[in-house]
Amino acid sequence: MIKTRGISPLVIPNPASVELQETYTLITGASKGLGKEMAREYARRGRNLILVALPGDGVKEFSAELERLYGIRVVFYECDLADEPALETMARWVIDHFSVDQLVNNAGIGGATKFEDAACAGLDRIIHINIRATTMLTSRLLPLLKRHSKALILNVASLAAFGPLPYKTIYPASKAFIYSFSRALCRELRGTGVRVVVLAPGPFISNPDVAGRIMKHGRLAKLGVLTAKQISRQAVSGAERGRKVIIPGFWNKVSRRLMHWAPEYLLLSLMSKAIEKELP
């Protein structure tokens, strides 16, 4: 259900308004973690923003902060992307009022638990947010993006997209979908002016809880850990340079190679032992 939606004082969606001729970057999951840092990075580069976040996550205050610091226009919209009618209403609102030439599908959720202990509603929510919301929002906004000679879709996958993870089961599968979807769509849209980039970050510290879970994985796992700020800068810079797949961090690139060449039974064994440390 849509709780609220907000228009910053600097942006009024009026068909006669000059602001409609200015372009925007739309970012989902923009009030915390990587999405928040992505918004900061785009703001530093002078991009106007449409920030989509859950109600009550502080996106209104964050939008005002970015406007004040960087002199850009920021619009915010609060909704739950797992709610299909809410997603459709938000997409329609964007299409009717704004000129969007960049879409960042960042919103995603995960967690570690035994599959048999996971509630069906929780599993369904991961699928809706990580897979369905990205797919549907991309589909709805693609005609809007194609109006521009140069446009960008940046989809956030994960290093987990390249191999199954026991006790996380649905999350890496959803990110494997994002990776495959992005690479295929990139090829389909060749020559249209719309580029599709997929970001596959390794572990990163977004809050104290995540930091605690990462530290449990041992010394080897810590090698690839970056901050959300580092990842966002590498992501935006890589996309601007024309990269199609972005894996931030040297050790994460090494891990990607190892995941490709190592026997699956060995990877499953190693990852199972590591993730078991996250379980209650």
Judged by DSSP in three states, 245 sits in strand
Tell me the average pLDDT of the chain.
Answer: 87
Considering only residues 8 and 214, tell me which one the structure prediction assigns the higher pLDDT.
214
Alpha helices by DSSP H, listed for the chain, are 33-44, 59-70, 84-97, 120-127, 134-145, 170-188, 208-215, 219-222, 228-240, 250-261, 264-276
The pLDDT value given to residue 265: 79
Give percent of the chain above pLDDT 70: 86
In the residue annotation, 167 being an active-site residue is answered as no
Q: Which of 42, 77, 167, 171 is catalytic?
A: 171
Q: Give the tokens for residue 186.
A: 């990139």
pLDDT band at residue 268 under the 50/70/90 scheme: confident
pLDDT band at residue 89 under the 50/70/90 scheme: very high
What value does the CA radius of gyration of the chain take, rounded to a whole number of Å?
A: 19
User: What are 229-267's pLDDT values in tens digits?
Assistant: 999 999 999 999 999 999 999 988 888 888 777 778 778
Considering only residues 27 and 207, tell me which one the structure prediction assigns the higher pLDDT.
27
**Number of Cβ atoms within 10 Å of the Cβ of 275:** 18
Q: Is the pLDDT of residue 20 over 80?
A: no
Domains and CATH numbers, the chain: 20-276 (3.40.50.720)
